[in-house]
């Protein structure tokens, strides 16, 4: 059997080369390096057996209907799968897979630490200051930041990425680690001396709060006005998890009113928009104490090639009659 596969956007070549080398694959890739328009997506999936989608593609009932009853797999090129209607896929017996990989975990953990440095040492502000030609002489009071050494790091969610952040900060900077999760992480406690806290206690004690939770009903707006008011006025919030975990309107108000010292965001509540209401004149872009990156925490050559290869291997396993290694359950 020849499997017709549609890839919704060009991705790194590791996985594509695996698929091209298989004689049972008829591969079609959307030519433009941009988000595929909805109308084009509905047209191009017609008659396909497998869709290799990105997190930016909404794969719902309409897409599955457009593809046809022969659609048997959706291979998501992402760790998350919020973009796929899993219930609808299950009704149609469509296999869904994702691309978790240790390389991705490492990249996101590194990016989180980079954001912490950017906040605490005011790197973005300093860069803008230099580019504007404002530096005329060394000044002992110029752009004063704060050290990481000796500070308290609060981690909400201690999966592989959260734990990766902890180890980097504990091993490299001897930060005091406290964490909150649905269950105790005994291994983390043993290797880093991390202390379990309720989320309320964690927010009150931490100098840095970093979010590493999936997007669920229970984590939507996990951080809002009430939680931000619990934090120290000198504390920083970092989000490399999922945008809607943070109530951005509440965050903007907290930053404006100096409830917390700053924030760094790689994901956004109404992504790709920075503000859910485009006409809102108060948004994160207008604040000097905020660092923003465009959902690039996993944007390293190593991570993206690993994701591509994982997507390819998931598809090949399915073609060979096996359960994909990263089938979503």
Residue 285 bears catalytic tag:
no
β-bridge partners, 203: none
Residue 141 bears catalytic tag:
no
Instruction: Give the rounded distance of the alpha carbon of 286 from its chain centre.
Output: 23
Residue with tokens 């010292």: 261
Catalytic residue, from 92, 121, 221, 295: name it. Answer: 295
β-bridge partners, 25: 3
> Which tokens go with 227?
């939680």
Residue 221 bears catalytic tag:
no
**Distance between CA atoms of 266 and 323, rounded to whole angstroms?**
33
Catalytic residue, from 9, 212, 242, 304: name it. Answer: 242
> Judging by beta carbons within 10 Å of its beta carbon (0-12, 13-18, 19+), is residue 219 exposed, middle or buried?
middle
Catalytic residue, from 189, 253, 271, 282: name it. Answer: 271
**Distance between CA atoms of 166 and 153, rounded to whole angstroms?**
8
Number of alpha carbons in the 13 Å side-chain half-sphere of residue 164? 18
**Distance between CA atoms of 29 and 8, rounded to whole angstroms?**
6
DSSP 52-72: EEETTS-B-HHHHHHH-TT--
Helix (H, G, I), strand (E, B) or coil at 179: strand
**Active site amino acids:** 242, 271, 295
């Amino acid at each position: 059997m020849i499997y017709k596969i549609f890839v919704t956007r060009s991705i790194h070549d590791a996985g594509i080369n695996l698929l091209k080398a298989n004689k049972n694959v008829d591969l079609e890739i959307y030519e433009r390096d941009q988000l595929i328009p909805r109308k084009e997506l509905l047209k191009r999936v017609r008659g396909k057996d497998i869709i290799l989608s990105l997190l930016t593609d909404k794969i719902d009932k309409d897409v599955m209907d457009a593809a046809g009853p022969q659609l048997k797999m959706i291979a998501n090129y992402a760790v998350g799968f919020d973009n796929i209607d899993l219930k609808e896929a299950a009704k149609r017996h469509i296999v869904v897979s994702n691309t978790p990989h240790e390389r991705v975990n490492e990249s996101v953990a590194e990016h989180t630490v980079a954001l912490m440095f950017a906040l605490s040492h005011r790197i973005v502000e300093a860069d803008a200051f230099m580019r504007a030609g404002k530096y005329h002489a060394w000044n002992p009071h110029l752009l004063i930041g704060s050290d990481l050494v000796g500070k308290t790091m609060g981690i909400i969610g201690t999966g592989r990425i959260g734990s990766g952040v902890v180890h980097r900060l504990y091993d490299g900077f001897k930060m005091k680690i406290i964490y909150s999760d649905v269950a105790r992480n005994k291994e983390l406690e043993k290797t880093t001396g991390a202390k379990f806290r309720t989320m309320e206690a964690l927010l009150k004690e931490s100098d840095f709060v970093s979010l590493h939770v999936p997007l669920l009903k229970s984590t939507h707006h996990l951080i809002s006005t009430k939680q931000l008011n619990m934090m120290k006025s000198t504390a920083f919030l970092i989000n490399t998890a999922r945008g809607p975990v943070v109530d951005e309107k509440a965050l903007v108000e907290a930053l404006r009113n100096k409830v917390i010292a700053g924030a760094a965001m790689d994901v956004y509540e109404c992504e790709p928009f920075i503000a859910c209401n485009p006409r809102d004149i108060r948004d994160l872009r207008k604040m000097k104490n905020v660092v923003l990156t465009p959902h690039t925490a996993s944007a390293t050559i190593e991570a993206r090639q690993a994701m591509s290869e994982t997507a390819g291997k998931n598809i090949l396993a399915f073609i060979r009659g096996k359960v994909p290694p990263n089938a979503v359950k």
